[in-house]
Amino acid sequence: MKKEYRTIINDVALPYKWALGRTWTRFFDGLKEEKILGTKCLQCGKTFVPARSFCPDCFVSEMEWVEAAQEGTIVTWTLVDAEYDGQTRKPPYVIALVKLAGTDCCINHYVGGIDLSDLKKVRQKLKEGAKVKAVWSPDKKADIHDIAYFAPVR
Ligand SMILES: [Zn+2]
């Protein structure tokens, strides 16, 4: 005879301390100085932002630090208009993958400086390939939110 087990619903909090290591510590320290730092692979020449300790294409750790451009293009984006657990912002907001000029990958961040009062208009106006630039938070804490958002360049 098969035993039936009951289940209960419970909330689990899982505080986590994440070691940033040498590379990400320097990357975040750069943000505090309004610099977006990346690393350039000495073998293939690709530049990565956020900085990487090794090239994800060549798997070599011979990288040099570079200061990336603060402007780039939106590769893809999404408009978040629904609430769910764990959000750091109240919807609506836009998140995008931004490819900074001269880099070979994307950074994921908010897009701000846009009118979110009419979401239909946002969906019509915001386009892949749109030029954006970093807007800095006035209070910096050496974390990703030192960049408040990327704003469209008009
Ligand atoms: Zn490489």
CA distance linking residue 143 with residue 87, whole number of Å: 17
Confidence band, pLDDT 50/70/90 cuts, at residue 99: very high
The DSSP symbol for 42 reads T
pLDDT tens digits, 119-138:
999 999 999 999 999 999 99
Cα(62) to ligand 1 centroid in Å equals 9
pLDDT tens digits, 58-69:
999 999 999 999
**Long-range contacts of range 138-147, CB-CB < 8 Å, 24 or more positions apart?**
140/31, 140/32, 140/34, 141/32, 142/28, 142/29, 142/31, 142/32, 143/28, 143/31, 144/28, 144/31, 144/109, 146/28, 146/31, 146/32, 146/34, 147/31, 147/36, 147/109
Cα(101) to ligand 1 centroid in Å equals 18
How many percent of the chain have pLDDT more than 90? 90
Looking at residue 132, what is its pLDDT? 98
Asked if pLDDT for residue 115 goes beyond 90, the answer is yes
Q: Which residues line ion ligand 1, judged by CB < 5 Å?
A: 41, 43-44, 55, 57-58
Residue 100 burial (CB < 10 Å; 0-12/13-18/19+)?
buried
Report the predicted TM-score, pTM, of the whole model to 2 decimal places.
0.87
For residues 75-94, average pLDDT? 94
Cα(72) to ligand 1 centroid in Å equals 21
Asked if pLDDT for residue 85 goes beyond 90, the answer is no
Cα(119) to ligand 1 centroid in Å equals 40
Residue 110 burial (CB < 10 Å; 0-12/13-18/19+)?
buried
Cα(97) to ligand 1 centroid in Å equals 21
Cα(9) to ligand 1 centroid in Å equals 47
Confidence band, pLDDT 50/70/90 cuts, at residue 1: confident
